[in-house]
Structure 1
């Protein structure tokens, strides 16, 4: 009997064992788009997924692709273990995005629009409308759209205008006295992208199940350009959209005032470098080249799309009064132990720790936790972190109401929460105006933890309560994202939370925590230790298992530890929402 020699296992430093984080993210967005094809979802939910896939890709270019361009310009090598150079990544992204755009529009054209038409919701071209409908739209255009529009000529006397990020634009070709001239018209974002055709005077919506027709705003503008350029011959009209670098470049070590530095960068964000130009397929090559030259866009950063530019606005259709085409609203459960009046919140936590799973469990107890503390005369201190809280936040309202002479309120507002920087600056200023102690985060780090600590005077002395969450203190997102909330008065966790806030708001540097795992201090080290513990168990022939539920898995040391554990026989299950650099 001939024994087969065991196959050599690849070294854990082999780049083939690691998936590039950018290509992994693109695969995640492919999964989002796949939901637009899944007929198990209600029809308008499928439309929503198509819209989300476009919004996701926009942000990917604004941040990730922009960062790769900077690496190329600065000639920085890729330090990730997959070994793919920035140039290779950009090439892969371009190839994938070209296919992705085509698939999005195929799904829309061949699957979603026909299905919507069967339900009486029609997206029509302006050309196929009746003369009566076109005239009615023209009158609406003159009343509701024309006063907003500002055509900008482009010639030696009129320099090329600034094109704002992700705005929808028309490049108009005009024949004027034997010469060809160009103008740019920006489609307003203050009116719906999809204009309802058969909308009766004074009405804002149609009754459910009524036949309804829509036309894209840019088609209506294009069909009525004679109102903008009277007496001129319109030779062509082409749609385009620019994506700009939106990543903030803040030298935190040199900034005397982080809030002011971020405000300045936010003001400059609209002037970020162009990283992508999307044009309608009918735009001639010479105009694409001319446009790219004025925008500073490379030719390999131009994407041609059929049908129409910018699919994120399809989200408008999910606001139709068609509940039969949407998931029914979810009614979250209110745990019995927290269903009493809000004054019993602290007593409930004293009876035992409480774990909630949103959105299936109500987010109301989290709001009540802060409100109870704000209105309780026995509460002496409230400390909380805020990352994304949304508009009209009841959490912030409670913190504002809590400030009095006997209550210390300290809040860390993370100003670097991407695309929430502006609202967070507003919240920080409101809190400061009420006398709340506000910190802006740590230099060089984002404060992503969601923690609230309440200190209360009780009969036997001071008592502390903690809320820990995996999701933001945002009632809106708590209705759509799955996250945990954990309430406890465990003394060791309360000690850890107190040490954590001292670290976040002062100069304390805590290197050890009793129970909490805190990045970048203890989290990675402890996770790797726990993985190693399971590996050792498997090596001894004992049962060993690891289950991870994560947004992303990109850390090389953790991935390396998981590979070693898997080789030792540990059963590993990974539930990864987005980026996974480990090759299963």
Structure 2
């Protein structure tokens, strides 16, 4: 008898037979494979040394978030005995076992990479000292620094019946000591929590050589100053990761108050992972396990550096010779041709801006002009992640203070940005902005701005659609697309989307947009079916798609069907991919690659050949805010927008997508067994990041493009060899 259970991702997901798990890769293990690719860039000697260290630190930060959210969710299912299988047919317990095994290997690899990079850093004049290297003048300076700058902040706490084990916050680091009092030889155990406000590294003075010491090394080295009259016979540093997901009940009466309370509770979430120094004394280990979660916590011991994400502090060292050559984004020349008038340029023709190669300042200029223009009567804006220092927020505040009607949809459920978004919401409301928080059980993930302006022939709506967030900082390192248009059809659709989020008025009669959770997946399935139909009619069927994650079983099954029908499918999936490519009879015609390099590939672009091979002028092309995941289709407000303007169509399809297909210097191929293989450049190396840093775009060039024709035309270079 075959047993079935619903997939844990998505309320509308189909029933899955766990015996058919070979059709899918596990989502969590696929994520770990992605983080391994990030870590592998730390081994790539084509990158400058401090950039390699940055990749390593990013892999550490990613790892922390994975445990705080994804593993925490699986652990909760296991403890609650939830009967649910993943798409590949694993129970929560089976997934946790596989994660623990793979994570242990990844942690060991991270430490080995850190050892290599640390040695290389020392050769270039950047040293991280061990306790044994603290001698002479170095010891004297650090001792004074400890007494003056560290000692006053620390609060040692005895652990005995009168002093219960203290609370250790999420991502908190501590050092536990076993001591002997010299006066009577009595043992005592002390714990020192390292305040989160204290930098992880202390930098010694000096310009020629940069020397660093971790604060825990400093604490152990000068423990006699903290515990006079005691001898240390055991010590160990440890670190805690807690469940950091926030769950909001549908019956929550006040979303803001609920989130303020939930953010506070997150600091005290269940311990998910306990990281300890390798070789820790057995008695100390038992104490930590007993006090910090017992058998529920996942334990790891490492002989290296705890909290690899903190290595990012060393990347800030002023050594431009060890970093990527600085890159200054271009401002679209189309806007300059109109004297900086964004509205005039957009009114003349649709524009797409390719970040980070083209400056995010154009988005700020668009909003800034809207705030200052007396003819602008209304601005509506979604805000998912806006950063801590946001010119976007300032523009909206300025517009409201100028008497304009300003509406901001602030998403409180943007993970780890909830607190910042609450602060922005308060500031916006104080300035007179109408702040809306959207749906309790859905996230508003669509990135849309609309500006309504009074003109000679009545009101005109200008829109901006982004594949990424309105975040000036991440826009420097994330590759995303910004699309500007004054198409009245798009303006009417955008207004309906805002009415849906602010007033729950379900959009009817959308002219160009598709949105989730109403119809986006269904239209995507229709587009794939059309390509199947083209093949059956004797014409080529081709699909190109670029996204961050591919998880949705319904879409994956439809892609398998298309592959079996003869549709050629190329997918650029940076992160998680549950689709299994290259399986005879199931996915022979599907190729999947992941690009990991200087910039974080983040844009979502989907292209359908429409009866011809890609690229072609008649292809159906879309940009979107959504990945192909159940949550994006079922539990988020997302958009999918067709690109009709010829120049914009050419830039996105013939430049952006072809460059992604062609990249062979920072691309990894997903094999049918779930492993990734770095693609070898061979005789024709191509790096899409380098290409876009040195070749201006089509859409933003304006008349200058006609004069110079300096943008080389790309052609698809791809091997069609069958996988073994």
Shorter chain as denominator, the TM-score bin is over 0.9
- Which residue number corresponds to residue 30 of structure 2? 24
1:326 to 1:32, Cα distance in 2 relative to 1, 3 A? same
Greater Cα shift, 300-309 or 480-489: 300-309
Say if 1:242 and 1:277, in contact at 8 Å, map to a contact too: yes
Does residue 348 of the first structure (1) align with residue 345 of the second (2)?
Answer: yes
For 1:582, what is the secondary structure of its paired residue?
A: coil
What's the CA shift for 1:287?
1.8
Distance in 1, Cα, partners of 2:524 & 2:401: 41
What's the CA shift for 1:442?
1.0
1:214 to 1:502, Cα distance in 2 relative to 1, 3 A? same
Pick from 238, 243, 246 the counterpart of residue 245 of structure 1: 243
For 1:185, what is the secondary structure of its paired residue?
A: strand
Greater Cα shift, 127-136 or 320-329: 127-136
1:156 to 1:100, Cα distance in 2 relative to 1, 3 A? same
Distance in 1, Cα, partners of 2:155 & 2:482: 49
Say if 2:454 and 2:460, in contact at 8 Å, map to a contact too: yes
Distance in 1, Cα, partners of 2:329 & 2:336: 12
> Could you report, residue by residue, the CA deviation over 1:99-149 in whole angstroms, capped at 9, with x for unpaired residues?
11111111111x211211121111121212322211211111111111110
Does residue 150 of the first structure (1) align with residue 148 of the second (2)?
Answer: no
What's the CA shift for 1:313?
1.1
Say if 2:175 and 2:237, in contact at 8 Å, map to a contact too: yes
Distance in 2, Cα, partners of 1:139 & 1:31: 42
Q: Superposed, which structure 2 residues align to 1:136-147 within 5 Å?
A: 136-147=141-152
Say which structure, 1 or 2, has more relative contact order (CA 8 Å, 6+ apart). 1
- Which residue number corresponds to residue 191 of structure 2? 184
For 1:241, what is the secondary structure of its paired residue?
A: strand
Q: Superposed, which structure 2 residues align to 1:439-478 within 5 Å?
A: 439-478=436-475
For 1:92, what is the secondary structure of its paired residue?
A: helix
Pick from 382, 387, 402 the counterpart of residue 385 of structure 1: 382
Distance in 1, Cα, partners of 2:58 & 2:414: 20
Does residue 172 of the first structure (1) align with residue 181 of the second (2)?
Answer: no
- Which residue number corresponds to residue 64 of structure 2? 58
Alpha-carbon RMSD across the aligned residues, in angstroms, is 1.6
For 1:247, what is the secondary structure of its paired residue?
A: coil
Greater Cα shift, 343-352 or 465-474: 343-352
For 2:143, what is the secondary structure of its paired residue?
A: helix
Does residue 128 of the first structure (1) align with residue 133 of the second (2)?
Answer: yes
- Which residue number corresponds to residue 230 of structure 1? 228
Say if 1:512 and 1:522, in contact at 8 Å, map to a contact too: no
Distance in 1, Cα, partners of 2:304 & 2:260: 38
Does residue 161 of the first structure (1) align with residue 158 of the second (2)?
Answer: no
> Could you report, residue by residue, the CA deviation over 1:307-340 in whole angstroms, capped at 9, with x for unpaired residues?
2211111111111110000012211111111125
- Which residue number corresponds to residue 3 of structure 1? none
For 2:499, what is the secondary structure of its paired residue?
A: helix
For 2:341, what is the secondary structure of its paired residue?
A: helix
Say if 1:358 and 1:485, in contact at 8 Å, map to a contact too: yes
1:536 to 1:163, Cα distance in 2 relative to 1, 3 A? same
For 2:516, what is the secondary structure of its paired residue?
A: coil
Does residue 325 of the first structure (1) align with residue 322 of the second (2)?
Answer: yes
Pick from 194, 202, 205 the counterpart of residue 195 of structure 1: 202
What's the CA shift for 1:453?
0.6
Does residue 567 of the first structure (1) align with residue 564 of the second (2)?
Answer: yes
What's the CA shift for 1:298?
1.8
- Which residue number corresponds to residue 217 of structure 2? 219
Say if 1:342 and 1:368, in contact at 8 Å, map to a contact too: no
> Could you report, residue by residue, the CA deviation over 1:467-500 in whole angstroms, capped at 9, with x for unpaired residues?
0001111111000000000000111111110100
Distance in 2, Cα, partners of 1:450 & 1:291: 44
Say if 2:379 and 2:405, in contact at 8 Å, map to a contact too: yes
Distance in 1, Cα, partners of 2:402 & 2:85: 52
Pick from 403, 407, 427 the counterpart of residue 424 of structure 2: 427
What's the CA shift for 1:300?
6.7
Distance in 2, Cα, partners of 1:152 & 1:340: 66
Q: Superposed, which structure 2 residues align to 1:502-541 within 5 Å?
A: 502-541=499-538
In the superposition, the TM-score normalised over structure 2's length comes to 0.76
For 1:403, what is the secondary structure of its paired residue?
A: helix
- Which residue number corresponds to residue 6 of structure 1? none
Distance in 2, Cα, partners of 1:488 & 1:541: 37
1:234 to 1:449, Cα distance in 2 relative to 1, 3 A? same
Distance in 2, Cα, partners of 1:75 & 1:415: 30
Distance in 1, Cα, partners of 2:163 & 2:283: 20
- Which residue number corresponds to residue 92 of structure 1? 98
1:300 to 1:275, Cα distance in 2 relative to 1, 3 A? closer
For 1:339, what is the secondary structure of its paired residue?
A: helix
Q: Superposed, which structure 2 residues align to 1:277-426 within 5 Å?
A: 277-298=274-295, 301-339=298-336, 344-404=341-401, 406-426=403-423
Distance in 2, Cα, partners of 1:339 & 1:154: 67
For 1:91, what is the secondary structure of its paired residue?
A: helix
Distance in 2, Cα, partners of 1:249 & 1:162: 22
What's the CA shift for 1:162?
0.1
What's the CA shift for 1:77?
2.3
> Could you report, residue by residue, the CA deviation over 1:367-406 in whole angstroms, capped at 9, with x for unpaired residues?
0111111111111110000011011210100100111575
For 2:443, what is the secondary structure of its paired residue?
A: coil
Say if 1:511 and 1:522, in contact at 8 Å, map to a contact too: no
- Which residue number corresponds to residue 268 of structure 1? 265
For 1:504, what is the secondary structure of its paired residue?
A: helix
> Could you report, residue by residue, the CA deviation over 1:249-298 in whole angstroms, capped at 9, with x for unpaired residues?
221x2111101100000011111000110000121223212211111132
Distance in 2, Cα, partners of 1:240 & 1:340: 58
What's the CA shift for 1:196?
2.3
> Could you report, residue by residue, the CA deviation over 1:24-58 in whole angstroms, capped at 9, with x for unpaired residues?
10111010000000001110000011101010000
Q: How many pairs align? A: 563
What's the CA shift for 1:524?
0.5
Say if 1:24 and 1:579, in contact at 8 Å, map to a contact too: yes
Q: Give unpaired runs (5+ residues) of structure 1.
A: 1-10, 201-205
In the superposition, the TM-score normalised over structure 1's length comes to 0.94
What's the CA shift for 1:421?
0.3
Greater Cα shift, 131-140 or 63-72: 131-140
